[in-house]
Chains A and B, each alone.
Chain A
Amino acid sequence: MNTNNKGFLGRLRALGWGFAAMLFIAGILFWGAFNTAMEWTNREAFCISCHEMKDNVYQEYRTTVHASNRSGVRATCPDCHVPKEWVPKIIRKIQASNEVLHKILGTIDTPEKFNAKRLELAKHEWERMKKTDSRECRNCHNFDSFDYAEQGRRSSKMHQTGLNEGKTCIDCHKGIAHQLPEVEQAIGAPKEGATPEEFHPPTPKPEEAKPEADKAKG
């Protein structure tokens, strides 16, 4: 009956350390779970759990060099679409909750609807990659390590001139993993699609040519 003789404050103080410790452990667990959840949603299997992703872009990607090549090193959806760094990753994940909304709305749930919206979605990705100087490509491809003697005639020439002019991978490598939306190439009737300027953005002037990633890399 005398368990209460320490008084309320005393008990709280005794609890204090335990409580702090518990919070700490809970924090670690939460953090772990949070990151685990992040990792779990960062798998190809997760991306193609939605048929919008599986029936369209995934089918096209499957025959490309990033899905199957002689070395067996694959680039999966998140490798190109989700940043590796923590802060940009969180931001991209928050933006991606928009995809869940559109999933519910059924915005692109048939191939026809998908193709009708493809130009807009592709433009978002082009813009994002342009802004980050194609950071996700560079996570795997380091152009400092390009062996120009080993590369093809056309690659080696275009890389040396293009990258010096301040171009970035996505300027030249659109449609690397999926079919492209309509692109205006001045053939037949005018198209609603990407204009030549959007598809091949003009080269920036020399002074603004240095991409940010190069400055950051030092």
Chain B
Amino acid sequence: MNKPTFNSARLRATALAMTLSMALAQTFLAPATAVAATEAPVKLQSLRGADIQASDPEGDGTRYGRDQPPLPRDFVQQPPLIPHTIKGYNITKNFNKCLDCHAWARAKETGATKISVTHFKTREGEELSSVSPRRYFCNQCHVPQSDAKPLVGNTFKPGTGMR
């Protein structure tokens, strides 16, 4: 399979940053442009074309790919992309499905990559003997891959040591 893969979280973060800065600009520039605004109100929309207050359109027809080997990383400290489906994988107070395979105790049997020791460190830098609370919600940083088209172009090149 030679499908292009891309980091939808990164795109989403960019999208968010852009809408935020647009919103900020609106607020701060409001006095200056007040007259103009009453004449032609600026219409804000997200990169996906939805109103910024609405949530992203659902069911946009993209699909999550089949399981594949680990994907290349593009920069140092990148949270690796999830190379498999995560449909139905719940992370609740009671149970963390990801750790059912990725915890050190489970990794041998399941063949999954062990979570790295950085995941044991609290934000104060204290080393815990197990996953730190700030790393409990894996999907905050690790994202699965779909065949969605990039919303904006970019010229990013992987770090020289990562190519």
Could you tell me which A residues sit within 8 Å of B by CB distance? Answer: 64-65, 152-155, 157-158, 175, 179-183, 185-188, 191, 193, 196, 200
Contacts and interface: CB of A to CB of B under 8 A. Distances in A.
A191 B92 CA distance: 13
A79 to B, nearest CB: 18
Interface string B109-143: 11100000000000000000011010010000000
B66 interface: yes
A186 B130 contact: yes
Contacts of A185: 95-96, 99-100, 103
A39 B55 CA distance: 44
The DSSP consensus for interface residues of chain B is: loop
Interface residues of B, number: 27
B95 A182 contact: yes
A54 B122 CA distance: 40
B99 A154 contact: no
A193 B68 contact: no
Contact of B69 (A153, A155, A180, A187): A153
Contacts of A196: 105
A64 B108 CA distance: 28
A193 B105 contact: no
B66 A179 contact: no
B133 A188 contact: yes
A193 B136 CA distance: 18
B88 interface: yes
20 contacts: A64-B88, A152-B66, A152-B84, A154-B111, A155-B67, A157-B111, A175-B95, A179-B92, A180-B95, A182-B95, A183-B94, A183-B95, A185-B96, A185-B100, A185-B103, A186-B105, A187-B130, A187-B131, A188-B130, A191-B94
Given A154-B67, A187-B96, 9 more contacts: A152-B67, A153-B69, A158-B110, A182-B95, A185-B103, A188-B130, A193-B94, A200-B106, A200-B109
Nearest to B131: A187
Contacts of B96: 185, 187
Contacts of A188: 130, 133
Interface in B82-104: 84-85, 87-88, 90, 92-97, 99-100, 103
B61 to A, nearest CB: 14
A180 B131 contact: no
A171 to B, nearest CB: 11
Contacts of A180: 90, 92, 94-95
A152 B111 CA distance: 14
Contacts of B68: 153
Contacts of A64: 88
B135 to A, nearest CB: 10
A21 to B, nearest CB: 57
A183 B98 CA distance: 13
Interface string B63-84: 0001111000000000000001
